[in-house]
Chains A and B, each alone.
Chain A
Amino acid sequence: MTIVAEPVPRGTVVATVGRQARDWIPALAVFVLGIAVWQLSIQVFGIERFLLPKPGAIVSRFWDARDELWRAGWFTFKEALGGFVVGSTFAILFALLLARFRRVGDALMPIAIAANAIPIIAFAPIFNAWFDPLQPTSKMAVAGVLCFFPVMVNTLRGLTSVRPTQVELMRSYGAGEVAIFRRVRVPTALPYTFSALKVATVLAMIGAIVGEYFGGSQEALGIRIKNSAALFDFETAWAAILVASILGIAFYLAVALLERLTLQWDPTRQERGSA
């Protein structure tokens, strides 16, 4: 018999990273160009520093105040991470429950979708009243609730979008609901859940920082940004935003890496070849 397809060699990690480095060159070029235009246009058009400081000034302030900024960043990142973990865990458990008991799911799903559409960040001052605003718990609550809905809705969609023949196959082996969950529904849902978790990292950072704008510990990054801006110390405000951005991107990439390691089997990912 002729073999129709040759065994496909697995790409080594080095090869994958190498290909990615090449993919990133255009983006990097645009980034550098953008910074250059920013720096130049401030000089050419004489833009006031309270409107937009020079990138060089922001970076040098970042460097001078790096110790306290990183400390503040870490403080806020822990709030975001705590909210992310708690919110996502509850979301996944809730989705499993709703997928298992469809009646309950049908009753709660419209409410969940509606709740997903409301601007939860508007509740930040309320959470500050519920919890001690100086404690990280109040910011974790905002971040957690922000993460909850997209992760829950996406996971539930994944759990319920299995192909009917896959369920029939399992039933032909005499499998019950639990076995079908473990062997079909959960693996099908994983790509959906990871997409939502990546979005949730961003939401968690937003939740923590915006929560701090409504009052929080002096150690917090959001308070640092707010106070610096109030005192016309815009370089420090921007440097703090830079810290928030770096942490946010790192958070996102960490979850993307976890996704890549977990979903190595996913053919749609293989075709795209990157996160």
Chain B
Amino acid sequence: MSVVKLDNVTKTFPKGNVTALEDIDLEIEPGEFVSLIGPSGCGKSTMLRVIGDLVKPTRGAVEVNGKPAPRARADHDYGMVFQDSVLFDWRTVAKNVALPLEMLGWSRAKRKERVEEMLRLVELQGFGDHHPWQLSGGMQMRVAIARALSFEPALLLMDEPFGALDEMTRERLNIELLDIWRRTGSTVVFVTHSISEAVFLSTRVVVMSPRPGRIAGLVSVDLPQPRTVDTREEPRFFELVTEVRELLRGVGADQHGSVLAEETA
């Protein structure tokens, strides 16, 4: 059974009559790490929100864990990580991580235990009593990841989580994320602007085209696991980056410039 199944999904926003997604068919299997990449306006963030039932599709069916998306959302079947960490300033780091557990009605003792475990996982032990603004951007993002993983969802939806971070922090968090992904065995759908990030992280890259948002091509990433800093220097890595870039060029990304500009920035 696939974790995510999009069947002929179309999403039109009434405002300006924008077709964000058109006839999207996609199945994601358990344990996959799938990146969605494409120029601005290709609907990749919308697609993530459709999977998470935060945006209702105009047409088509969305299934998560074999259930309709609204049912899966109510059942806490996925965890979401946004571009900015979306931590609540009025909660300590520990309480931020515990938020979904509170929503699930876990007991205080169970929450405390799990929060400790999660902070260890993202290497933030000892920071539980801090407030989010006392941490660096990279640490805040690790808190957001700990929060998304705290209730062990089968599916992790990530919307450009490292977009606002500097290159070095981003590459370190990439490796940490893969490490967590391997250990938890979860499925990840990851939206990004960065070609190298998409290739480095993923088992499969979905290249999307803009206006209307369509799937322009799929690239299977056959780089060996576990991936390390050396992966980025392998010839195969460059071949795959080129393959994704060619696909993006085909969808007119170089004219819009957004993807390539981000990549060289």
Contacts and interface: CB of A to CB of B under 8 A. Distances in A.
Nearest to B78: A172
B54 A168 contact: yes
A163 interface: yes
Give the size range of A's interface with the partner.
20 to 34
B89 A265 contact: yes
Q: Which 9 pairs from chain A and chain B are nearest by CB?
A: A267-B133, A4-B136, A172-B80, A174-B74, A187-B90, A173-B103, A265-B90, A165-B86, A8-B134
Contacts, number: 67
Interface string B89-101: 1110000000110
Contact of A165 (B76, B82, B89, B157): B82
Contact of B100 (A7, A163, A166, A173): A173
Interface string B35-67: 000000000000001001010000000000000
Interface of A: 1, 4-5, 7-8, 163, 165-166, 168-169, 171-175, 179, 183-184, 187, 190, 265-267, 270
A226 B100 CA distance: 60
Contacts of A265: 89-91, 131
B138 interface: yes
Interface stretch (B122-130, B182-190, B216-224, B252-260): B122-130
Nearest to A168: B54
Interface in B205-249: none
A169 B103 contact: no
A169 B76 contact: no
Contacts of B90: 187, 190, 265-266
Nearest to B137: A4
A184 B96 CA distance: 12
Contact of B103 (A8, A163, A179): A179
B28 interface: no
B103 A7 contact: no
Contact of B86 (A5, A7, A169): A169
B103 A175 contact: yes
A20 to B, nearest CB: 21
A178 to B, nearest CB: 12
A166 B90 CA distance: 13
Interface in B70-124: 73-76, 78-80, 82-84, 86, 88-91, 99-100, 103-104, 123
Nearest to A2: B172
Given A1-B123, A174-B73, A183-B99, A165 B78 contact: no
B73 to A, nearest CB: 5
A172 B70 CA distance: 10
Contacts of B261: none
B80 A5 contact: no
A187 B99 CA distance: 14
A4 B124 CA distance: 10
B139 interface: yes
